[in-house]
Amino acid sequence: AAMSRKRLQQLVDSLGRSAKHFNKNEVECLIKVFDALVAKSSNRFAAVGFDRNSFRDTLHSAFGMTDDMIMDRVFRTFDRDNDSCISVVEWVEGLSVFLRGTLEEKIKYCFEVYDLNGDGYISKEEMFQMLKNSLLKQPSEEDPDEGIKDLVDIALKKMDYDHDGKLSFMDFEKAVRDENLLLEAFGPCLPDIK
């Protein structure tokens, strides 16, 4: 059901403040897009928002994402209250960083996506999981895992400034500030330029 004009206005006003990279017109458009997408999806949360599958479909069709593991992590990063449903507020605030975030915000976001167990570090195992998942397998390779282990070692050498064998947020942030290309080092979790 489309929301009332008054409710829409209130939402636009509050999101205009919290999603600081969008102006009010953009916020209103994003709310309408959200409503339209939710209306055509047949998920069990349809009254409140996106479930994981509808969100994944949207990431795929709108932003060209194909990696299931990464899309799942993006879902969890958007889903601030962990209720397995993305509300309109989580949608607009999430997109604000996803599409227009400052470098600082994007570093935070990517780190969160890559920190699979949420312990505040990106461990060797987590890097391995993500790289294994995002690299194309070459049929000729005897043991592709070896190559991935090498990549993990290279990433650690380059990014682990305090040499504790894992990446803290400070390690990650420093590495990305020195070399912006490292922002998505462990898998594409931001929209492509299009």
Q: What is the CATH number of the domain that holds 157?
A: 1.10.238.10
Are residue 46 and residue 113 in the same domain, yes or no? no
User: Sign (positive/negative) of CA torsion 167, 120, 103, 187?
Assistant: positive
pTM: 0.88
Are residue 64 and residue 141 in the same domain, yes or no? no
Domain membership flag for residue 189? no
Are residue 47 and residue 116 in the same domain, yes or no? no
Are residue 11 and residue 88 in the same domain, yes or no? yes
Are residue 25 and residue 90 in the same domain, yes or no? yes
Q: Give the chain's domain count.
A: 2
Are residue 20 and residue 52 in the same domain, yes or no? yes
For residue range 71-82, what is the model confidence (pLDDT) as tens digits?
A: 999 999 999 999
Q: Residue 59: is its pLDDT beyond 90? A: yes
Contact 104, 158 (CB under 8 A): no
Question: Can you give the residue range of the structural domain that contains 78?
Answer: 5-100
In which band, very low, low, confident or very high, does the pLDDT at 46 lie, cut at 50, 70 and 90? low
